[in-house]
Each structure stands twice: as structure tokens, then as C-alpha cells.
Amino acid sequence: MEELIHVEHLVKEFPVRLGIFERALKGDKKPVVHAVDDVSFSIGKGEVLGLAGESGSGKSTTGRLILRLLDPTSGSVLYGGKDLAKVHVKEMHLMRPKMQVVFQDPNGSLSPRMTVGEAITQPLDIHGLLEPGERKDAVLNLMEKVGLSPAPFLYQKYPHQVSGGQCQRVVIARALITKPDFLVADEPIAMADVSVRALIMELLKDLKDEFSMTYLFITHDLATAKYLCDRIAVMYLGRIVEIGAKGDLFKHPHHPYTKALLQAVPIPDPSKRRTSEVVRGEIPSAINPPSGCHFHPRCPFAKPVCSEARPPLKDMGGGHFSACILD
Ligand SMILES: Nc1ncnc2c1ncn2[C@@H]1O[C@H](COP(=O)(O)OP(=O)(O)O)[C@@H](O)[C@H]1O
Ligand SMILES: [Mg+2]
């Protein structure tokens, strides 16, 4: 499969702001948050890669780095073979509309003073796409496609006059109006009511096929990734601990963290409900992550060797990789 996105040794550290006393205590050594810690993967054209893991594992930061909404501390992102760090400002301006993002909170992404129609039209205005006279028809057309119907009626409404589910559709329409090749969907259903989640997922799937888009689908639970994704990468404290085709990962998970996350996936039959705790303890701080395998303090199988060195991603065959030295 032809690659659209290629991420190599991506690192993002955020400086930590300290108070005057903490600074005096720590001396010159400036602490950082290790949000993304040497991550490499690629996404094929037309593929959906799921990025799963608990909150704080670095998923959103990875998404922002790929879209160049953030500059990496080191490492590179290739988009269609082009290194985004080396792309000229003018060319980047042309590439921007081709790479879009949908965030989890539709209310945070929509201005209360803009009508639905204005919000969806805005990216066309910003990027100077289509003739001004053609924009309204294009917006109305897309609104119908994403289920904002009747479009002429909803076009004039303000965000507070439509439902939460409709707001999320507006955000999706606004991301799609520029006809992107690549979409980062950052927990797009996390804030939605249970009743609209399935509808939004279905919509994302239909739109992907219709517009032949490539997705990075970010989620904190593996159950949602199962529906839409071709491959899944599991992230823990800034690192990918396992990556593979969806079927392989669900049927033969290798990494103890993936296994723990899979235990959290709800089982429909109540008589078979598991009682064990999902993952013991809390995700440690990304300022001082544990040595060796980041997961070892919470891992039920941990041995002393696990705290010694970072385990490499080992090839399990068929494009399936896992970073556990005990495997
Ligand atoms: N702008 C920022 N400044 C400082 N720390 C940040 C910033 N953005 C994210 N972080 C930290 O980086 C880590 C990863 O965050 P994030 O990428 O949002 O994870 P996720 O999306 O998986 O929940 C967290 O510890 C978070 O607190
Ligand atoms: Mg996030």
C-alpha cells in the first residue's frame, strides 16, 4: 500500500513551568513532559489507523505533530513523501486544507456567534477555495451528506439552537469542506451522547469511503477503534507499545497493556462480565516516566529486567509489532 503519512522517531517534550522554589531545588536541569517519546509508524493511503491508549498517553500530541499544529522536538513527519519541516510556507499554505482535524468537543470548536452555514463556509473563505458564489451550494450539499438536514433550515441556526449530535456533524462538515486527503479524528465521539455515537461513527465510515480519505482515529477505548480502523497502534506514556492489523491485535494481543485495555472492552453478556480490575493503578507522570518499560510498575508480569532498558518493538509477523521483552 502506498504511504500517505510516515512518522519517524517523533519526539515532543513540553517544558514544565516551575515556581521559584522548585527552580532553586532543581538547579539548572529543566524538567520536561515527555509527551511523545520516539514514535515511528506510517499510514497507507485510504487506511484508518487507530491510536488508542489512556488519557495522557500522548495521542493528541501525536495528532497535532502530524498536522504540524505543533513543532516536534525532534524526528520527522513525511506527508506524501514530503518532509513537513522542509516544506516552504507557501506550499504549506496549499497543503493545510488537505489535512484536517475534528476535535472531541464540538462546543469548543464552534464560535457561538457564527451560524452553522458560516462556520462550515469559513475554511473556504480562509483558503480562498471555490468562487464566492459557489460556496453556499457546496456547503448545503455537504450538510445533506453529513446528515444536517434540511440543510437550508439548519444553515441559518446558531450552535446553541441545534443538538449536540448536530454540532458534531457541523464540526465534521467544516473539516471536510476543503476536501481533505487526511483527517485526524481526535476522540470525535467522546463528548457525544450514547445515542449519537453510533451515528457519528457510521458517518465517519461512510465519508471515508465516499471521499477516499485516510484517517488517524484517536480513541481512549479499543471498542470504538474496532469499528472503523484497519490497523491499531496502542500508546502508553508517549510510546507505541503495540501495533498491528485490527484482527490480529484483537485476537492475539501480545503486550500486557493491550491485554489490559481489551479487558476494558465491555462484553454484552452480563453472566460473562469480568470482575478483575482493568489496569491497576494510575498512569504515571510523563515528567518522570518509569525506567525501562514504562508499563512495568503496573504490569502483572513484570520482572526486574523490565525496568532496565526500553523494550524495542519486536516483529511478531504480518506487520504486528509488540514492545515487551518477556514475549
Ligand atoms: N501544551 C502542553 N504543555 C505541556 N504539557 C502538555 C501540553 N499538551 C500536552 N501535554 C502533556 O503531554 C502528555 C500527553 O498529552 P496528550 O497528547 O494530550 O495525551 P492524550 O491525548 O493521549 O490524552 C500529558 O502528560 C499532557 O499533560
Ligand atoms: Mg487527547
**218 within 8 A of 186, measured Cβ to Cβ:** yes
Dist. CA 255 → ligand 1 center (Å): 23
Tell me the ligand closest to 186's alpha carbon: 2
- Pair 173, 200: CB distance under 8 Å: no
What is the Cα–Cα distance from 37 to 237, expressed in whole angstroms? Answer: 8
Indicate which residue's Cα is closest to atom 14 of ligand 1: 58
Nearest atom in ligand 1 to the alpha carbon of residue 53 is 22
Q: What is the pLDDT of residue 277?
A: 47
Ligand 1 pocket at CB < 6 A = 14, 33, 35, 53, 55-61, 286
Q: Please report the domains of the chain, with CATH numbers, ordered by start residue.
A: 3-266+277-293 (3.40.50.300)
Ligand 2 centroid, distance to 223 Cα (angstroms): 17
Question: Measured in angstroms, how far is the CA atom of residue 152 from the centroid of ligand 1?
Answer: 39
Residues 6+ apart with CB under 8 A from 193: 164, 165
304 Cα to the center of ligand 2, angstroms: 32
Report CA(202)–ligand 2 centroid distance (Å).
Answer: 22
The residue whose CA is least distant from atom 5 of ligand 1 is: 14
- Ligand positioned closest to the Cα atom of 62: 1
Nearest CA to ligand 1 atom 7: 14
C-alpha cell at 192: 457525544
Tell me which residue has its CA closest to atom 3 in ligand 1. Answer: 14
CA of 59 to the centre of ligand 2 (A): 6
Which residues are within 5 Å of ligand 2 (an ion), measured at CB? 60
Query: Average model confidence (pLDDT) for the chain?
Result: 91
**Distance between start and end Cα atoms, the chain:** 29
Q: How far is the CA of 121 from the centre of ligand 1 (A)?
A: 31
Number of neighbouring beta carbons within 10 Å of residue 132: 10
Instruction: Tell me the CA–centroid distance for residue 88 and ligand 2, in Å.
Output: 29
> Measured from the CA of 285, which atom of ligand 1 is nearest?
25
Question: Cell triple for residue 28?
Answer: 539548572
CA distance 73 to 93: 22
Is the distance from CB of 50 to CB of 303 less than 8 angstroms? no
252 conformational bin, left if phi > 0, alpha if psi -120 to 50, beta if neither: beta
Residues of the chain with pLDDT under 50: 273-277
Q: Whose CA is nearest to atom 10 of ligand 1?
A: 35
The confidence score (pLDDT) of residue 275 equals 43
Task: Outline where DSSP puts E strands in the chain.
Answer: 3-15, 32-44, 48-52, 74-79, 82-83, 99-102, 182-186, 214-219, 231-236, 239-245, 314-317, 320-322
Q: Which of 11, 17, 32, 33 to mutate to test the pocket of ligand 1 (most atoms within 8 A of CB)?
A: 33
Number of H helices, E strands in the chain: 12, 12
